[in-house]
């Protein structure tokens, strides 16, 4: 029984890492797609094409990945008793922030698909770097466990 539970932990961890990579890849691609959409004329065929691409990215990669990451991450946290560890609370906060960023970017893509340009291109390029910073901090917390 103990051996089976031990193997389950490794499968949960592998799944969590795999879907985290998918999620992060999507979060790296989405802002770049929005930069390209930003440069198109509202209502143009090119804007429609970029809007379709962002919808597909959201539906096919981002949404399923965030769900699996959260489910497997929570299962892992319970299996190792992480809830009483400081590094886990910090990681959880950063993942909540990353999830909020995900929601913000998907909402922004929907506005841009309607022809709106609520933020300037330079700011869009800048906020596109947020997932990389958050990912680096999360990896350090998980690997180093500084507190």
Mean per-residue pLDDT of the chain:
96
Whether the per-residue pLDDT at 1 is higher than 70: the answer is no
Q: Are 46 and 40 in contact (CB under 8 A)?
A: yes
Neighbours of 10 (CB within 10 A): 9
pLDDT band at 119 (very low <50, low <70, confident <90, very high): very high
Q: What average pLDDT score do residues 30-49 get?
A: 97
Which residue intervals of the chain are DSSP H helices?
2-38, 45-56, 63-80, 86-113, 121-127, 130-144
pLDDT tens-digit profile of 84-111?
999 999 999 999 999 999 999 999 999 9
List CB contacts of 46: < 8 A, sequence separation 6 or more: 40
Q: Quick one: pLDDT at residue 5?
A: 67
Q: Are 31 and 124 in contact (CB under 8 A)?
A: yes
Whether the per-residue pLDDT at 4 is higher than 90: the answer is no
Q: Where are the domains of the chain?
A: 2-144
Residue % of the chain over a pLDDT of 70: 98
pLDDT band at 9 (very low <50, low <70, confident <90, very high): very high
CA–CA distance, 61 with 5 (Å, rounded to integer): 29
pLDDT band at 3 (very low <50, low <70, confident <90, very high): confident
**pTM exceeding 0.85:** yes
pLDDT tens-digit profile of 21-35?
999 999 999 999 999
């Amino acid at each position: 029984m103990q051996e089976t539970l031990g193997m389950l932990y490794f499968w949960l961890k592998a799944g969590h890492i795999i879907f985290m990579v998918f999620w992060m890849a999507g979060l790296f691609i989405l802002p770049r797609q929005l930069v390209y959409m930003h440069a198109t004329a509202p209502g143009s065929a090119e804007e429609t094409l970029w809007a379709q691409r962002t919808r597909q990215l959201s539906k096919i990669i981002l949404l399923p990945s965030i769900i699996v990451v959260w489910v497997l991450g929570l299962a892992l946290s319970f299996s190792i008793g992480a809830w009483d560890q400081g590094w886990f609370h910090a990681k959880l906060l950063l993942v909540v922030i990353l999830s909020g960023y995900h929601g913000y970017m998907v909402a922004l893509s929907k506005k841009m698909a309607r022809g709106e340009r609520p933020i300037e291109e330079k700011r869009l390029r800048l906020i596109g770097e947020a997932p990389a910073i958050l990912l680096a901090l999360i990896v350090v917390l998980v690997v180093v466990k500084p507190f």
